Amino acid sequence: MGNYFAKVKPLCGRLLPYRVFSSLVAVKLNDIGEGLSRFFIAFRGELCYISEMTDKWLEIMLRVPVSTADLLCHELNELGSVGVVVEERSLDTFIPPDPDETDSDIFTVKAYFEDCSRQAVLLQDLDLSLQRLAQIYPELADVQIVVGEMGQQDWAEDWKQHFSTAKIGARLVIKPSWEDYCPQGDDVVVTLDPGMAFGTGTHGTTHLCLETLAQLFDNCSPDTLAPNRILDVGTGSGILAIAAAALGATEIIACDIDSEACQTARDNIAQNGLSGAIEVTDTLLEQLPDNFDVILANILAEENIRLAQSLVDRLAARGTLILSGILDEKVALVTEAFAPFNMVGPQLYYEQEWACIVYTKAD
C-alpha cells in the first residue's frame, strides 16, 4: 500500500501534516467549523479538506515556488476554494513528517471549488491575484493555470481498485465489501470496508501479522489447542481481530485510542457477524486484563518499545507476541527493548522494508 504526505489547508488555519494510506478515501466528519459537515478526501499522495459533498468539483492546479505556496493557499481560500492540496512526497507509513521539510523548490498546488459554473469569473479573479502577488514574487507572473473537473465517482472508484481479494495462509481470505468471492473448501472469508482506519491487509505490516496469525491456527494439531484469547493493540479497521475470530478464536479484545478507528472496527466486525466474539475498546493497554494466548501489536516501533512491559505482562505463559509496524532498520531497537524479558525468540519475518517480530513467552 502506498503511503504519502500532503500539506492540507483547511478553510481557516495553518498548513497541517497528514498521512495518507491509500489511493483515495472519503470520510464525512460532522460538526467541524460552524456546525457544517465536512469531508476529507484523500487521493494517492494527497489529502484535501472539502466542505459539503457535491457531484462535481472544479480543480485548479498550479506549480509554484515553495516560498509562495502558503500565500497562494490563502488567496485560493479567499476566492472560495473549499480545499487546497499542496505537494505530495513519499514518506514512511508510521513516522510523522516534518511539515516544514521540502523535497524540491516547486510545489504543485491544487484547489477545489464547488461551483463549476463560475469557472470563467474564477479564473479572471485568480489571474488578478497572481498579477498582484507577482509584484512581490516576480516568478508568479508566468505561472500556468491548469483547469479540470473532478467527479464524485472518480475518487470513489479509484480507491476501490487498490484493494482486492487476497488469500492468506491455508484458509483465510480477506475481501473488500464491494467484491464477490465464492469460498473454496474450508476457506474462512473476512469482508472489510476500511473507511478512514488503517488496515486492508495489503500493506506489508498488516500482511505480515495476518500471515503469522493464520500460521498459528493452520499449524494446530489434534494435540494442541488453537489460540482463543487474543488482544489486538491498535486495531485500526479491526482486520486482525476479525481474522482471529474468523479462524476460530472466541475471546478477543480490539483496542485503539482513536475513537473513529474503534467505530470503523465495530462496523466491520458487525458486517462479519462477529460482534459476539470481539470487544472493541478505547481503554488504554495498561488498564486491560491479562492472560492472552496471542497479542498483536501492529503499531509504531517506538510504541512497541514504550509498551514492552505492558505487552509482556498481558501475555499468558507460552503465549505468542506478534509485533509489527517496524521498519527493518529498527528491528535491533525493538529486540533490544524486549531482551530483558522472559521470552523465547525472536523469530523475524520481512516484507519489503517492513519486519514482523514474534516472541513466545516462557513458562
DSSP designation for 238? S
User: What was the pLDDT predicted at 316?
Assistant: 96
- The answer on 299 and 223 residing in a single domain is yes
Q: What percent of the chain has pLDDT over 70?
A: 73
Quote the strand ranges of the chain, DSSP E: 4-9, 16-20, 25-29, 38-43, 46-51, 56-65, 83-90, 106-113, 145-151, 166-168, 172-176, 188-192, 229-233, 251-255, 278-281, 292-298, 315-327, 343-351, 354-361
User: What was the pLDDT predicted at 87?
Assistant: 62
Structural domain tally of the chain? Answer: 2
User: What was the pLDDT predicted at 163?
Assistant: 67
- The answer on 177 and 133 residing in a single domain is no
- The answer on 121 and 246 residing in a single domain is no
Report the DSSP pairing between strands 83-90 and 4-9.
Answer: antiparallel
How do residues 80-122 score in pLDDT, each as one tens digit? 887 777 764 444 444 444 445 544 578 888 888 877 778 888 8
- The answer on 139 and 173 residing in a single domain is no
Domain boundary among 158, 191, 214: 158
User: What was the pLDDT predicted at 298?
Assistant: 92
- The answer on 48 and 14 residing in a single domain is yes
Range of the domain at 32: 4-158
DSSP designation for 330? G
pLDDT grade, residue 296 (50/70/90)?
Answer: very high
* Mean pLDDT, the chain, integer: 76
Predicted TM-score (pTM) of the model is 0.61
- Contact predicate 316/293, CB 8 Å: yes
C-alpha cell at 80: 472560495
Which helix (H) or strand (E) covers residue 187, if one does?
none
- Contact predicate 337/305, CB 8 Å: yes
- The answer on 215 and 91 residing in a single domain is no
CATH of the domain at 28: 3.30.70.120
pLDDT grade, residue 200 (50/70/90)?
Answer: low
